[in-house]
Amino acid sequence: MAMTPAEAAERAAQLRALLQHHAHRYYVLDDPQVSDAEYDCLFQALQALEDEYPALQTPDSPTQRIIGQVLDGFAPVRHTVPMLSIRTETDTDPSGAWAFDARVRRELSLAPSDPPVIYTAELKFDGLAINLRYENGVLVQAATRGDGETGENVTQNMRTIKEIPGQLRTRGALPAVLEVRGEVYMRRDDFDALNERQRQRMADGDRTGKTFVNPRNAAAGAVRQLDPRIAALRPLRFFAYGLGDFDGWAGGPPPSQSALLEALGAFGLPVNADHAVVSGGSGLADFHAAVQARRGQLPFDIDGVVYKVDDRALQQRLGFVSREPRWAVAHKYPAQEQITGLRAIEVQVGRTGKLTPVAKLEPVFVGGTTVSNATLHNLFELRRKRVRIGDRVVVRRAGDVIPEVVGRVEALRPAYVPNFRMPRSCPVCGSQVLREPGGIDHRCTGGLYCGAQRKQALLHFAGRRAMNIDGLGEKIVDQLVDGGLVATLPALYQLSLEQLRALGRMGDKSARNLLTGLQTSKQTTLARFLFALGMRHVGESTAKDLAAHFGSLDRLLAASEEQLLAVRDVGPVVAHTLRLFLDQPHNRDVIDQLRAAGITWAEHDGVAQAEPLPLAGQTFVLTGTLPTLTRDEARALIEAAGGKVAGAVSKKTNWLVAGDDAGSKREKADALGVAVLDEAGLQQLLSDIASA
């Protein structure tokens, strides 16, 4: 039903207010509440309304201007040459390319018999537009686009990006003034690693930490980070693609967009190699399709491609219409973020026992496929995003990564929805579920007993450094488990020649080889056997230490947590998880059955620790990101020297090992007068005691 003019006016005002709100979240706070798709939807609704009732079109309408605003704290920079936006073909099929070519030909009054127009086709990087100003080859200023006329001075932050040269390379004369335009962006792998670090910080109790929704927001947030030291920690990159102001350029600017890209590259600026000089609408459409096919394999996000008339003289003839060049257009791809309903949250158990909350969604087309499941990562993330069953959520699927729920749009839940909880027992095998102190992930302690972990457990058990079972590889494990022949480790030793022969693709010879392999594996060592059980934290060297320390399996099985702590390389976390594993009756059954199947090793009385290790009795706490060591590596080094690693700083803490962005733990350590080491200090301490 048609609206009355009064209703239309009210609706337009509502849409304008909504768009302004979301634009502020997006452009100014870098913290959007809705997906790009939802924003576009609102935008188009307003545009349609204004088209129908032109009287509603006000100069301050979001449809009439470039949104963006200078953040307090950055000095404004007036762009000598305005930073324009370009028209977007919202059609995601090839027709957008043809439509652009037809428009260009019309504007240039070309006849159908005239030759095709030549274009440069580029990727449309999903980042933040930046203007770099070089004077006599030296970077003097970097600014964001802002509202196109005035941007923010972000020179300091841009100087922290290694790819942006502080000084242009010369071959011959440099222009006196050269403004380079391009995009600051973040690669997807860098983005994932950044978010992983942020998650770790939050798990460490840093309440100011947050994860970023997508690489674009992370990049935009870093560019406009008021503290350049924090900006420097964010892995930003840059691609140059255009020209702003210039002066004193011998011979003038290059005669075409493709020549400009080449010249920028020669100056030492990063230019993405993935561009092409193509001919006519068909060349553009082919480029669009070809890039779309490998969009997921690109290391960064793109939201489309950009077509530019190659010839500079033609560009000038085409000129501008309402602040948009007629010679360039952006041609989009389907969105990588969509909004949909969250129907349920289920828990999945991975091959390593990790429990992942998985969102069951109303199916939605995103990033090129229909998605109905998406990861919620872990309980921390889920709580932080405050998603509950019934909500509208933003789903993101970029590249070939697993789709994820990145946030909540609206709480549309029924009146009462209980908070999601991780199950106490594994949904697959019923074993106890645990979260390690200081850890983020919940895990099933079922190990080899758990159906979800079975194949992995069998392969690990058979591995060369474990039971070394010849002939038991991935394919056979798949067949044995999928065919229902092997559900537990001991069942391996019950296999008969007939059963193996009956498996598809298994010849008589390989069946016999496997049986021989199984037979031979029975004579082993205690260390190999312990390692083969695949207990969490018990790697090869801890297995050796346990075997050497206790000498016999029964003594190990009977050891208390305190007695386990006395073993070299075993800290509180390891002792605790080990004890839990050994206390599960089904794990004891597996061990008994394996022994009953004939697995044996030589036992001895065990060796008493010759002398206490140098760091025995010393408690360490780790915090922040260390320059070279991972947390686990640092922990291993400390524990190998006899020290303990605890999760929180207390009066009992002897040392705090602090890396970059150490937060509350550092403050607590300082308050308690705990000694603080950086990574170099830790290495020094370890080498001092090693040589003492």
- The nearest distance, CB 26 to ligand IVH, in angstroms, is 14
The token pair at 67 is: 């949104």
Q: Given the complex with ligand IVH, which of 124 and 666 has the nearer CB atom?
A: 124
Cβ-based nearer residue to ligand IVH, 69 or 520: 69
What SS3 class is residue 502?
A: helix
Measured between alpha carbons, how far is 507 from 493 in angstroms, rounded to an integer? Answer: 19
Tokens linked to 264: 């920028």
β-pair type (150-152, 76-78): antiparallel
Least distance to ligand IVH from the beta carbon of 458, Å? 49
Cα dihedral: 533, 538, 541, 547 (round 10): -60
What per-residue string of b and e applies to 270-295 under the rule 16 or more CB within 10 Å gives b? bbbeebbbbebbebbbbbbeebbeeb
In angstroms, give the least distance from the CB of 48 to ligand IVH.
21
Structure tokens at 94: 């090839």
- To which residue do tokens 């998880």 refer? 577
Say if strands 619-623 and 644-646 run parallel, antiparallel, or are unpaired.
parallel
Would you say how long the chain is, in residues? 692
Of residues 242 and 283, the one with the C-beta less far from ligand IVH: 242
The single residue of 124, 332, 544, 665 carrying the catalytic annotation is: 124
β pairing state of 392-396 and 337-349: antiparallel
Considering the complex, what minimum distance in angstroms separates the CB of residue 129 from ligand IVH? 3
- Residue with the closest Cβ to ligand IVH? 129
Q: Where is 646: in which H helix or E strand?
A: strand 644-646
In whole angstroms, the minimum distance from the beta carbon of 12 to ligand IVH comes to 24
Q: Which of 336, 555, 352, 360 is nearest to 457 (CA)?
A: 352
φ and ψ of 490, to 5 deg = -60, -30
**Coil/strand/helix, residue 157:** helix
CB-wise, 184 or 387, nearer to ligand IVH? 184
Q: Which amino acid would we find at residue 592?
A: D
Exposure letters 380-416 (e unless 16+ CB within 10 A, then b)? bbbebbebbbebbbbbbbbeeeebbbbbbbeeeeeee
Of the two residues 163 and 603, which places its CB atom closer to ligand IVH in the complex? Answer: 163
Give the nearer residue to ligand IVH in terms of CB position, either 129 or 567: 129
Q: What residues make contact with ligand IVH under the rule CB under 6 A?
A: 84-86, 122, 124-125, 129, 183, 241-242, 306, 325, 328, 330
Cβ closer to ligand IVH: 65 or 351?
Answer: 65
Smallest distance from ligand IVH to CB 99, Å: 17
Minimum CB distance to ligand IVH, residue 183 (Å)? 5
Q: Which is nearer to ligand IVH, 36 or 206 (CB)?
A: 36
Q: How far is the CB of 397 from ligand IVH (least distance, A)?
A: 21
Q: CA 608: distance to chain centroid?
A: 46
Judged by beta carbon, residue 71 or residue 689, the one nearer ligand IVH is 71
What DSSP element (H or E) covers 641? none
Q: Are 119 and 314 in contact (CB under 8 A)?
A: no
Which residues contact residue 608 at a Cβ distance below 8 angstroms, ignoring those fewer than 6 apart? none
Strands (E), 67-136: 76-78, 87-89, 118-125, 128-135
DSSP 314-352: HHHHH-EETTEETTEEEEE---SEEEEEEEEEEEEE-TT
CB of 238 to ligand IVH, least distance (A): 11
Who's near 219: CB < 8 A, 6+ residues apart?
Answer: 127, 128, 184, 185, 186, 234, 236
CB of 336 vs ligand IVH, minimal distance in Å: 15
Identify whether 124 is a catalytic site residue: yes
632 closest CA partner among 573, 691, 560: 573
User: Which token pair is 392?
Assistant: 């509208």
Crossing angle for the helix pair 454-462 and 474-482, nearest 10 degrees? Answer: 140
* Pairwise CA distance, residues 603 & 167, whole Å: 69
Kindly state the smallest distance separating residue 193's Cβ from ligand IVH, in Å. 23
When the beta carbons of 16 and 331 are compared against ligand IVH, the nearer one is: 331
> How many CB atoms within 10 Å of residue 648?
14
- What whole-number distance in Å separates Cα of residue 686 and Cα of residue 692? 10
> Under DSSP, is residue 153 helix (H, G, I), strand (E, B) or coil?
strand
* CA 348 – CA 186 distance, rounded (Å): 30
Q: Looking at beta carbons only, is 145 or 528 nearer to ligand IVH?
A: 145
Task: Label residue 597 exposed, middle or buried (CB < 10 Å: 0-12, 13-18, 19+).
Answer: middle
- Which residues form the catalytic set? 124
